[in-house]
């Protein structure tokens, strides 16, 4: 209680004091650029992914643009040790994502390299994925995909280097005939997702779907 008094939680938008379990106040929440296309729609990410690999369905929660609120939220999650943000983003996703009668068989999040995981202390996607797993009743596997190369964040790379991701990922176990949902924080070029997707597709008769917290267009 003393900590909360001395260091109150503040809205990422207006910096007003808010409850400890929130990211933004009610007014700033209305400013978040949520994506309004559904999981089965022919949305922007699906069209981009189709150019890179066979994809079934795609979903993005928010737009990720320069100086907008969603960018601040993602940065809090990734770089400010706000793992709680993953739970909140999952709750917002669950309010908007309907798999209908075609739920994926498995949730798989983009892994960090062990060195990056040690530096950050956590994978920003794990809490998000586990919350979705519990709500939808879909198992997750944090160990299916291995990142083989250490690299700086996508947001810090120039465009040319973003396109270089051959042999970055590998499959750690046998997996066949699964409908898999790949989960990432921000969709930029789609190169990271494509690298993982091809490993999954090559592993057996699997199908791939994509879910991202935000898309950078």
Over residues 77-121, the pLDDT tens digits come to: 988 878 889 999 999 999 999 999 999 999 999 999 888 888 888
Per-domain residue ranges for the chain? 1-31, 34-216
**84-94 and 126-136 helices cross at what angle (nearest 10)?**
40
Nearest alpha carbon to residue 175 among 148, 207, 149, 147: 207
Spell out the per-residue pLDDT of the chain, length 217, in tens: 554 555 799 999 999 999 988 999 999 999 999 999 999 999 999 999 999 999 999 999 999 987 789 999 999 998 887 888 999 999 999 999 999 999 999 999 999 988 888 888 888 899 999 999 999 999 999 999 999 987 665 444 454 454 455 678 999 999 999 999 999 999 999 999 999 999 999 998 999 999 999 999 7
CATH class of the domain whose range is 34-216: alpha beta
Percentage of the chain exceeding pLDDT 70: 90
């Amino acid at each position: 209680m003393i900590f909360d008094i001395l260091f109150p939680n503040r809205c990422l938008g207006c910096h007003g004091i808010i409850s400890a379990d929130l990211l933004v106040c009610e007014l700033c929440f209305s400013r978040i650029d949520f994506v309004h296309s559904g999981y089965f729609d022919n949305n922007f990410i699906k069209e981009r992914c189709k150019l890179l690999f066979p994809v079934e369905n795609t979903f993005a929660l928010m737009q990720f643009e320069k100086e907008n609120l969603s960018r601040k939220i993602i940065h809090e999650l990734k770089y400010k040790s706000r793992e709680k943000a993953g739970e909140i983003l999952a709750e917002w996703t669950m309010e908007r994502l309907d798999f209908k009668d075609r739920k994926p068989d498995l949730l798989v999040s983009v892994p960090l390299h062990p060195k990056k995981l040690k530096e950050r202390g956590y994978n920003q996607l794990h809490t998000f994925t586990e919350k979705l797993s519990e709500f939808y009743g879909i198992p997750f596997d944090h160990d299916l995909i291995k990142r083989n190369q250490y690299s700086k964040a996508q947001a810090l790379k120039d465009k040319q280097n973003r396109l270089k991701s051959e042999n970055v990922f590998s499959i750690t176990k046998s997996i066949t005939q699964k409908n898999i949902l790949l989960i990432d924080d921000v969709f930029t070029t789609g190169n990271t997702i494509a690298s993982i997707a091809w490993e999954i597709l090559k592993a057996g008769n699997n199908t791939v779907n994509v879910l991202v917290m935000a898309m950078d267009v």
